Amino acid sequence: MEIVIVGDFSNNKDEGLKNVAKSISKVLESRHNVYRFNIKKILLRDNIQILFKKSPDIVHIISSPTIASFIVAKIFAIRWPSTKVAISALHHGRQNVDKLRHKNIISKFLRTDIILYQAVEYSYVEFCRKNYYFPNGVDINVFKPLAKPTRSELRSAYGIPMDAFVILHVGHQSKIRNIGVFSKIKSTIF
Asked if 118 contacts 135 with a C-beta cutoff of 8 angstroms, the reply is yes
Own/partner pairs, 164-168, CB within 8 angstroms, 24+ separation: 165/189
Euclidean distance between CA atoms 60 and 36, whole angstroms: 10
Euclidean distance between CA atoms 34 and 59, whole angstroms: 10
Percent of the chain residues topping a pLDDT of 70:
80
Q: Which CATH number fits domain 2-133: 2.60.40, 3.40.50, 1.10.3470, 3.30.160?
A: 3.40.50
CA-based torsion, 148, 149, 154, 155: positive or negative: positive
Count Cβ atoms below 10 Å from residue 61 Cβ, excluding itself. 26
Tell me which amino acid residue 86 is.
A
Q: In the chain, what are the domain boundaries?
A: 2-133, 148-189
Taking residues 32-45, report their average pLDDT: 81
Convert the pLDDT of each residue in 72-124 to its tens digit.
899 889 989 999 999 988 765 566 666 666 677 777 788 889 988 876 666 78
Q: Above 80 in pLDDT, residue 40?
A: no
Residues in the chain: 190
Euclidean distance between CA atoms 24 and 101, whole angstroms: 31
